[in-house]
Amino acid sequence: MRILGIDYGDKKIGLAFGDSEARVAVPLDVVPNMGDATLHTFAKRVTGEDIDLIVIGVPLSTGSHHSSDQLEKTRAFIKKLESLVSVPVVEEDESFTTAESIRLQREEGAQADEDALAAMLIVQAYIDQHG
């Protein structure tokens, strides 16, 4: 199964690709969040790249980096995206992905943007849990 991972943010959105058969996720890129235009771009990408599933990170535990307001914004984004695509859209807890992506950059020398790394971690967590 081909999976598109999304780390949603108000200003920018991290993207990753996952393959459930290979059990691997890789960071792709980061795109500016331009509202409905971005949603339509994602819908075209899903069709053009034969994506089977979209996994979107949601901040399930609140703290210094996440708020209930961000959870509401992310779920509103999910609802709009679901109306534009014909593939399932599922949520995955992203509570610690930003900190982990920063660690990967610092300690492992990862070259990808932290938002794309966060999207990769979201997809990898989904693959690890659901096979």
Task: Walk me through the domains of the chain, giving residue ranges and CATH numbers.
Answer: 2-130 (3.30.420.140)
Cβ 120 vs Cβ 3: under 8 Å: no
Cα-Cα-Cα-Cα dihedral sign, residues 94, 98, 103, 109: positive
pLDDT the model gives residue 98:
65
Chunked into runs of 10 residues, the chain (131 residues) has average pLDDT values of 96 96 94 96 94 93 64 94 97 77 70 86 92 65
pLDDT the model gives residue 90:
97
Instruction: State the Cα angle at 54 between 58 and 112, rounded to 5°.
Output: 75
pLDDT the model gives residue 124:
93
